[in-house]
Amino acid sequence: MFESLKKNKQLFMTCLSVFLVGVSLIFVYYTLENIGFITNEIHTFLLLIRPVIIAFGIAYVLNRPMIYIEDQLQRLSQRLMKKRLPSGFSRGMTILILFFLVVGFIYVLFNSVIPPIIKNLRLLLDTLPNFQQSINYYIDELGPYVQSTVTQQQIDQMSNFVTNVLGSIGSYMLQLGTGVITNVTGFAISTLTTIILSIYFLKDKEILIRSVDKGAQSLLPANSLVRVKQLLHDLDIVFGGFLIAQLIAAILAGVFSTMILVLIDHPFAILVGLVTGVANVIPYIGPILGALLGCVLGLFSSLNLAIVSLVLLTIYQQLDANVIQPKLLSNSVGLNPVWVLIAILIGGHYLGMVGMIVSIPSAALAQIYLTRRYHRLKNQQKI
């Protein structure tokens, strides 16, 4: 039988294909049969390596600031001592500076930002029971036209829905914030491994990269290895730039929204600014959510404050969505602001919020490869 298979190459390939299909079907069957066990094992494994994943993410975010600080240290040493610092010493000093900057940021956050937010949340929960009465009062102020358009039952349903949503969100955020503060010791112990790993990732990144490169060289063909390296380099350039641009845009949105509301004496200025900054990661939608939240929470004080908050935050939202974000993202990922807006519209239409977030780096990556292909074809005189 085996001799006949060797002589008949087509028959051999057919039998091999049938065998592989059979093995694949058996594998799929047993996988589906034990899907619960496999899922639990994957979940356990992810929990086990979670500090490694988080540490890698922290190191990746801090890598660019580390490169910048280390470069400035070397320039300063060259200017003052006419020589460069040893690489190990400069890297250690850079990580130490980064450590103090991060600790300082966390200290400011816990002492200057989190207490006012907790105060805002408690004020929100305390004033929620009077929200429905306030809505009815504002409806009476708006006159008979609104009363004839919206029934009392609809008003009650709307106010109950808003009250329940705000109450749930406020309670969750308050429990989350107070839980972190009251469990600082446990939190510090659980994150100690992550901090140590982050430091080692930053300190020995060149050594780790060389180790991974050696492993890849032993597993992948040379051509495939070149393509993988190029892809990883492109992903680093595009997604790294996108991440920094989004972080800057979120900070600007949170700070400016807070400043606008502070100027008009909004009682929930810091809370609205925080939500606007966090939600700003979703292009267009995030700032709109901030404007609506500022308006709704403004109703706890007065109708005029709610309207002024909505108008001012909407103006800023238009500025952010059409000027600030496209400019930041175009500079960071190399896309023209027009293409940024088009990518967001297409991604949002087909994939919703997730599409709006991933559309910009995906479009930038596509532009890189299309540009390379164009130049390659041009050099080959095919176009």
Q: How far apart are CA 93 and CA 135, in angstroms?
A: 58
Does residue 100 belong to any structural domain of this protein? no
Please check whether residue 220 is in contact with residue 257, taking contact to mean a CB–CB distance below 8 angstroms.
Answer: no
Return the pLDDT at 317.
81
In a domain, 137, yes or no: no
Higher pLDDT, residue 45 or 189: 45
Residue 22 above 60 pLDDT?
yes
For 117, the token pair is 């937010």
Q: What is the CA radius of gyration of the chain?
A: 28
Residue 297: inside a domain, yes or no?
Answer: yes
Q: What is the mean pLDDT of the chain?
A: 76
Tokens of 204: 């020995």
pLDDT (0 to 100) of residue 107? 81
pLDDT reading at 17 higher than 70: yes
Whether this model's pTM surpasses 0.75? no
pLDDT tops 80 at residue 312 = yes
- For the ranges 214-218, 332-336, 339-343, the one whose mean pLDDT is highest: 214-218
Residue 281: other Cβ atoms inside 10 A:
16
Please identify which residue in the block is written with the tokens 């065998």. 19
Domain that holds residue 246: 221-383
Asked if residue 258 belongs to a domain, the reply is: yes
Contact (CB, 8 A) for 256 and 313: no
Q: CA-based diameter of the chain, in Å?
A: 95
Taking residues 213-241, what's their average pLDDT? Answer: 81
Four-residue CA torsion sign, 177, 179, 185, 188 = negative
Asked whether residue 299 is assigned to any structural domain, the reply reads: yes
Q: How far apart are CA 16 and CA 22, in angstroms?
A: 10
Task: Tell me the per-residue pLDDT of 47-87, one tens digit each, with 9 for 90 and over.
Answer: 778 888 888 888 888 888 888 888 888 888 888 888 888 87
What average pLDDT does the segment 252-268 reach? 88
Residue 163 inside a domain? The answer is: no
**Domain assignment of residue 345, yes or no:** yes
Query: CB of 276 within 8 A of CB of 312?
Result: no
Residue 127 domain-assigned (yes or no): no
Higher pLDDT, 18 or 103: 103
At 340-363, the pLDDT tens digits run 778 777 877 777 767 777 777 788
* Neighbouring C-beta atoms of residue 345, cutoff 10 Å: 15
- pLDDT higher than 80, residue 306: yes
The tally of domains found in the chain comes to: 1
- CA torsion angle 334 336 340 346 (round to 10): -110
Of 60, 100, 92, 101, nearest in space to 73 by CA: 92
